[in-house]
Structure formats: C-alpha cells, structure tokens
Amino acid sequence: MHSVETFRNLHGEATEWRRYLHQHPELDYRLHNTARFVTEKLASFGINHIETGIAETGIVATIQGEGGDGPTIGLRADMDALPIVEASNKPWSSTTPGNMHACGHDGHTAMLLGAAKHLASTRNFKGSVALIFQPAEEGALGGQRMVQEGIMERFGIAQVFGMHNAPGMEIGKFGICDGPIMAALDEFDIIVKGRGGHAAAPHRTVDPVVIAAQIILGLQTLVSRNTDPLESLVISVTKLTAAQAYNIIPQQVEMAGTVRTLVPGLRDFAERQILASAKGIATGFGADIELKYRRHDPVTFNHTEGTNLAITAARNLVGPESVNDKIKPRMGSEDFAYMLEARPGAFIFLGNGPTAGLHHPAYDFNDDALPYGIGYWVNLVETVLAA
C-alpha cells in the first residue's frame, strides 16, 4: 500500500493530460476526440485489451495482474463536458466556445489514466482491473447505456467503483458513507388546464395561473407536512410558462420541476402524491391537470463491503484523519448509480480545494488533486485484489 508520495512522479504528466482535455471539451456521446486521446494513452502504457465504441464513445480497457487468478473490478471515470461558456480565465480554458469541463470529468479521466499507467507497469495484484471510461454522464444516461450494453457480463466485473471531485473539500481529503451517497433524480411536467379569457373579466375564466400558484405551494407541503422529517425529499418547481401578455388569462399553465430522494419508497410516494395533490387542488377550482413523471438516475447506493474497501484504500493513502467515512449524502445525482445497481461497490468524493462549485462557469478541476485520485485508484486495486 502506498502513500501519496509514490504518485507525485505522475503529477506533471497527468496535469498535461487534464489541461489538454480541459481545452478540448466535448458533450454527451460525441466524445470522439476525447475517446481517441484516452485510447492512445492507454495503448502507450502497454495495455493490449482496449475495447472502444461501447455506448458510442465509451471505452473499457483491462489490465491483468501478475498475482495470479482473481476477480475483475471496474474503476469508472466519466469523460463528458457541459454546455457552459467558460469564465475561469485559465490559460488552458476551453477552445470550443459554449462547451466546458465544468464538472471536473477532465480530471476524473486524467486520474484514471494515471492509475492505468501505474497499474500497467507494476501489475502488483491478482485478477484484473477493468478501466471504464464513460460518455454522457451529464443527463444522457451513458452509465446506464454501458450497463445495458453488457459491460458487467462481458468483462466479468464483480465489483465497481467511482469517484467525483468535491469543491469545498480540502485537497488530500476523501469523503464517503455507507448506503445512499447521492440522490435519485426524477423530473415532472404538470399542465394546469383552465379556461382562458380577458384579464379584466376573471369571473368568466378558470384562471390556471392562480391554480398553478396553489399547486406550487401545495407541493411544498408534501415535503414539510407529509414526509418523515428524518427522511430527505426535495421537490423544486423550476419552470413556469403562462400567457405572454398583460391582459390575457391563459388557457393553461405549464410547470416543471425535479424531485430528489434517498430511499426508493419515497420516490413512489412523491410520484403518487404530486399527482394527488395537483389534481385535488385543480379539481377544487374547476380545472384539470396532466402529469408526466419521469424517473432518471436511481439512488447512488454504496454497498458496505465496497465502502469499507474504499475507506481502507483512502486511509492508507492519506492517513485516517483525512478520510471522513460518515459524510452526509448529497442531493445531486450521478448516473454511476446504474453501475452500482448492477454490481456492488462504492462511490467516493475527493477534495478539490476552494474552487468554484460544480457546473459554475468559473469552475476548474484542481490539478493538485491528481496524485490523490491516482493513488486512491491504485491502493483500491491493491486492496480489493491483494495478491
């Protein structure tokens, strides 16, 4: 097991990779240049088993240990950027206006490449490591698609691990918890169907604007009055479309929003109660509603054994005082959740220092975190697959 000092020699090179990726951000599944870059680097490390074109631009590469037979574990990095105009003012800013690595997936990719380089040259483990480079994490379900395309079965992956940088957490610190670590993400659309008319004669209309306002407030009481205070539920109405004039009461109001939960039961509850509450309010005012409810990422659920292995790997890298093994779950979501539904394992947060927040135009992955992420991956492999 190694301390972080072992990985300082990869810092310079990994920084170059990270900044190159940062300058060339690509979106969703269209990661052609990124995938080519990753594939070339993997091949240059002497890795022979590289499969490309999984979920369009995803890659799985395997490295066999020299410690004999054993299981295969999957390490996953996401590679996609976001449609944001960069304002970091860094010399390595995006050269594609409107695209930006604002979630640090450039750093995630560089760290897994660094680990690949180290593991390919040392191979001090039994079994095999499957390096999973994933497209389309940002809302386009690339993780789900890689699972659907059968990577777990094809590569014989027994356990799977993921990592995300965390702005606001100190460099060299790790955070993890057993059980739910990130929330499930659902989205809903509600159409409130009233009867439009002249804004000066509201008594001849069924005003869907007023009804929508009641529904928005009603939805908040599902959280404050109908949910166990010790369980987490977020319902946010984020979009509202009514008439485009001062003197028209519209026929209908369209609203949309998001639901975040940490337990599956609460997800069912939210879907059922949003419908019941919105319909009840609308009916009371003589209107009707239409609800569309879509489930996206499930809860990112850390399994106990995988969590303990991750904690051991991180503690050996940075010391026990730098690993918080009881962080609070975050209400954001992660499509690595699909991989953790398919196989046991764990997801961990890595300190990114005092940078701007994720998805902010001024965000930049902190290159000082690179040796820690690389070291975590290597220690994890040598822990789970101890020869």
Catalog residues that contact Ni ion under the rule CB under 5 A: 103
Nearer to Ni ion, 50 or 358 (CB): 358
Contacts of 228 (CB under 8 A, 6+ apart): none
Q: How far is the CB of 80 from Ni ion (least distance, A)?
A: 9
Nearer to Ni ion, 103 or 115 (CB): 103
Nearer to Ni ion, 103 or 270 (CB): 103
Residue with nearest beta carbon to Ni ion: 103
Q: How far is the CB of 105 from Ni ion (least distance, A)?
A: 6
Nearer to Ni ion, 103 or 129 (CB): 103
Choose among 315, 323, 338: nearest CA to 78.
338
Q: How far is the CB of 163 from Ni ion (least distance, A)?
A: 10
| Distance set, CA 192 to CA 15, 196, 253 (Å) | 52, 11, 5
What angle is formed at CA 118 by the lines to CA 144 and CA 149, rounded to 5 degrees? 15
Nearer to Ni ion, 103 or 119 (CB): 103
Question: In the 8-state DSSP scheme, what is residue 329?
Answer: P
Choose among 318, 315, 299, 319: nearest CA to 369.
318
Nearer to Ni ion, 103 or 346 (CB): 103
Q: How far is the CB of 358 from Ni ion (least distance, A)?
A: 6
| Distance set, CA 345 to CA 173, 249, 272, 279, 342 (Å) | 20, 53, 31, 41, 10
Q: How far is the CB of 299 from Ni ion (least distance, A)?
A: 16
Nearer to Ni ion, 64 or 258 (CB): 258
Q: How far is the CB of 82 from Ni ion (least distance, A)?
A: 9
Contacts 24+ apart (CB under 8 A), 49-54: 54/146, 54/149, 54/151
Question: In the 8-state DSSP scheme, what is residue 167?
Answer: T
Q: How far is the CB of 186 from Ni ion (least distance, A)?
A: 19
Give dist(CA 61, CA 36) in Å, integer: 13
Task: Report the 10 Å Cβ neighbour count for 67.
Answer: 15
One DSSP character per residue, 36-53 reads: HHHHHHHHHTT--EEEEE
Residue length, the chain?
Answer: 387
Q: How far is the CB of 219 from Ni ion (least distance, A)?
A: 27
Nearer to Ni ion, 334 or 367 (CB): 334
